Structure 1
Amino acid sequence: MADPPPLIAAYMRKRADLVRFFTLRTGSAATAEDLVQDLYVKISDIVPPPDMRSAEAFLYRVGSNLMLDRNKAQRRQAARDHAWSQAAGGDGPEPVDQEAPADEAVASRQRLERLLARLDRLPPSVAAAFRLHKFDGLSHSEVAERLGVSRSSVEKYIMSALRALTADEEP
């Protein structure tokens, strides 16, 4: 297997450091991860300049430029949103509440508690298959492997659980 290009090799060595660097500057680990991913895409398409002295320094410079570009784009978007809101007769962008109204949150919590109580009354194998598939996101095959049963059994367990959990469901 051939050695990776120098920039890719430097990226692989410094990836964790880059994530930490951008997390400190952006205040968000998710944004830092996005920037480091964008950095990889960027360096995979470019040929390093012939006078490049340090691949690591080059990575930090390109990454910093990506971060600045992202910040500028966010500021432009905020300005556009504000201008649109004012043109539409508002005083500026209204903050949007991401939380569900309290009564809906309470009702959802109560429905979840009823569902979990019904789930606890199911046979253990049926409940385990349902939890692994619906809560943990495992495929039928993965659940079958984990429980040591056939895929067909898992499908039957999940159908049985769904029937039991939706039977006589209260509104």
Structure 2
Amino acid sequence: MHVNADQESDVETLYGLHRAELRRLLLARVGDPAEAEDLLQELWLRARQRPAGPVENGRAYLFRMAQNLVVDRLRERQRRMARERRWSDQETDFTPTGVEPSDRRETAEDQIIAREQVAALLSAIASLPEGARRAFELHKLDGFSHAEVAQRLGISKSGVEKHMAVAMKYLRRALLD
């Protein structure tokens, strides 16, 4: 957006006249001189980029812009704090402050149990009847659809479904034991 020379000098004049007051307002709202200066600089940039056209009360316009910047900054800070709180809660498993969070990494026992479960599953798959095993491996391990498995094995789609039902029933029974 382009501002012509007259409008630019009006904005510069208004800003120059009220800069000290605007800085005091921003400092009172945020309490940090460095942040107040940052907001004052942002106000200057936004004021210069404002849409063309007359402003009835330039001082009120600048003060409203300053107040809006403070509110925007506060909202952004609240969003950041909520995001960090969610992250912290997830990382600490929602453990209250002052209590040491539990270590959520997998224990050696968990790893041994997982390996045993994988070994049991592989053993159960290997002991499936031949047709059921081939259909199961093609569908579940290789990712082929029932139609593709049927084509590869030279059987009907309902034949694949029957093989899969046998395989799932057998594996369920084997893993429960």
TM-score, normalised with respect to structure 1: 0.48
The structure that has the greater radius of gyration is 2
TM-score, normalised with respect to structure 2: 0.47
